[in-house]
Structure 1
Amino acid sequence: MTAAALAPTAFINSDHPDIRAFAAAHAGSGSPRDKAVALAAAVRDAVPYSLYAFQVAPEPLVASAVLAAPSAYCVPKAVLLAATARAAGIPARVGFADVRNHLTSPRFEAMMDEPNFRWHAYTALHIEGRWLKATPAFDRVLCEKNGVAVLTFDGTQDSIFQPFDTAGRKSMEYIAFHGEFDDLPYDRFASEMRRIYPRLLANLARIRAERTAL
Structure 2
Amino acid sequence: MPGLESRLAAFVLTLGSEILFLGDAGTTEPSRASRRIGLEWTNRYQARPWLAFDLDVAATRARFTEDDPAGRYIPGAPNLVLAAGMTVDEGIGWFGTTRLRYFGARPLTEDNSQQSRATALVNARLGYRFENGLRMQLDAFNLFDSKASQIDYFYASRLPGEPGGGVEDRHFHPAEPGPALHRRRQPVADRRQASATRPIGRAGACAAGPSRQSEEKKAPPKAAITETSHIWS
TM range (shorter): under 0.3
Q: TM-score, normalised by structure 1?
A: 0.27
Structure with more relative contact order (C-alpha pairs < 8 Å, separation 6 or more) = 1
Q: Who wins on radius of gyration, i.e. which is larger?
A: 2
Structure with the bigger percentage of strand: 2
